[in-house]
Amino acid sequence: MIDLRADRGVVVLGDNTQVLPQLPDESFQLIYIDPPFNTGIIQQRRTLRKNPDGTEARAGFRGTSYTAQETRRVGYVDAYDDYLGFIAPKLEEARRLLKPSGTLYFHIDYREAHYCKVLLDDIFGRENFLNEVIWAYDYGGRAKDRWPAKHETILVYTKTPKGHYFNQDAVDRIPYMAPELVSAQKAARGKLPTDVWWHTIVTTNGREKTGYPHQKPEGILRRIVQASSAPDDWVLDFFAGSGTAGAVAAQLGRRFIMVDHSPEALDTMRRRLGTDGIRYVEADGAPPAP
């Protein structure tokens, strides 16, 4: 048995369908999940290094060029015949695990968002639907036969109607888009974000890049953790991937449990989160109550 009171965080390698039932009722203030989007394609992230002896030229920044060698490739098949059947039992567990004041943030894209909204209404109750947050960005390929898809959806549900924790004063403010229309004092202070979040993706040469597919930026998770949890609260992500939720939770003084079935994800989180106060366990040693 693991005494979580001694830990800053726990990373569990295992199938979340086996791990979640081992966690006790109403243990987590915040649950964030970024499950596979059911795109029907293989999600991959390649790691390249410059190779001065290579033969393949690649275009670089500001007209420079270089040759590269692939050093690592991580990926998974993102396709499910019955996506709602795949995700529904996990969402039922999520509701059980939330504290009465807790909040679920469910990160999904346009292919499944409307189906998942109906499913979440059924599991959590329509009265517990809090927000549809749109994360908008401007990066990547451009479709020529339709409006380019440059957003993802985060569906936000509470455990108790009007009984959830939300601290808007803890959220980092953002600049006004038209500062000349407000007072100088307001412009200097900035404004609270709305339900449309403009934020870039994790860039290929950015500080946050781990090499794991579909990694989410820390800025998105920072806003979620700031608003919907307090210091020392427990945060859960059972599709942890690169561990962004855990990294942000640790930065903000929250404790966390990250769950993923992929050894590559575990290796990524170990490099990212370190071992100081972080416990790494197998599924059959999943942790008890926070």
Does pLDDT of 125 surpass 80? yes
In the numeric block, which tokens belong to residue 29?
A: 């203030």
Mean pLDDT of the chain: 85
**Within a domain: 68:** no
**Within a domain: 64:** no
Tally of domains within the chain: 1
Does pLDDT of 139 surpass 60? yes
pLDDT tier at 82, thresholds 50, 70, 90: confident
Q: What is the pLDDT of residue 290?
A: 57
In the numeric block, which tokens belong to residue 208?
A: 């946050």
Q: What are phi and psi of 43, to 5 degrees?
A: -85, 125
Tell me which residue range forms the domain holding 186: 4-40+79-285
52 by Cβ neighbours in 10 Å (0-12 / 13-18 / 19+) ranks as: exposed
pLDDT average, residue stretch 100-113:
94
Q: How much of the chain exceeds pLDDT 70, in percent?
A: 80
In the numeric block, which tokens belong to residue 102?
A: 């807790």
When computed from its CA atoms, the radius of gyration of the chain, rounded to whole angstroms, is 20
Distance in angstroms (rounded) separating the CA atoms of residues 104 and 195: 15
pLDDT average, residue stretch 20-38:
91
**Within a domain: 47:** no
Q: What is the pLDDT of residue 99?
A: 98
Does pLDDT of 210 surpass 90? no
| Residues 6 or more apart in contact with residue 12 via CB below 8 angstroms | 19, 257, 258, 259, 260, 281, 282, 283, 286, 287
Give CA torsion, residues 290, 23, 166, 208, to 10 deg: 80
**Within a domain: 55:** no
SS (H, E, C) the chain: CCCHHHCCEEEEECCHHHHHHHCCCCCEEEEEECCCCCCCEEEEEEEEEECCCCCCEEECHHHCEEEEEEEEEEEEEECCCCHHHHHHHHHHHHHHHEEEEEEEEEEECCCCHHHHHHHHHHHHCHHHEEEEEEEECCCCCCCCCCCCCCEEEEEEEECCCCCCCCCHHHCCCECCCCHHHCCHHHHHHCECCCCEEECCCCCCCCCCCCCCCCCCCHHHHHHHHHHHCCCCCEEEECCCCCCHHHHHHHHCCCEEEEEECCHHHHHHHHHHHCCCCEEEEEHHHCCCCC
pLDDT average, residue stretch 250-263:
96
Residue 233 CA, chain-centre distance (Å), reads 17
**Within a domain: 50:** no
**Within a domain: 49:** no
User: Which amino acid appears at position 247 of this protein?
Assistant: A
Q: What angle do CA 264, 30, 287 make, to 5 degrees?
A: 55
**Within a domain: 23:** yes
Other CB atoms within a 10 A radius of the CB of residue 24 amount to: 13
pLDDT tier at 2, thresholds 50, 70, 90: very low
Does pLDDT of 56 surpass 70? no
Q: What is the pLDDT of residue 174?
A: 96
Q: Which of 31-45, 144-158, 206-220 has the lowest mean pLDDT?
A: 31-45
Q: Which carries the bigger pLDDT value, residue 37 or residue 246?
A: 246
**Within a domain: 60:** no
pLDDT average, residue stretch 178-206:
93
pLDDT average, residue stretch 176-201:
95
Q: What is the CATH number of the domain that holds 123?
A: 3.40.50.150
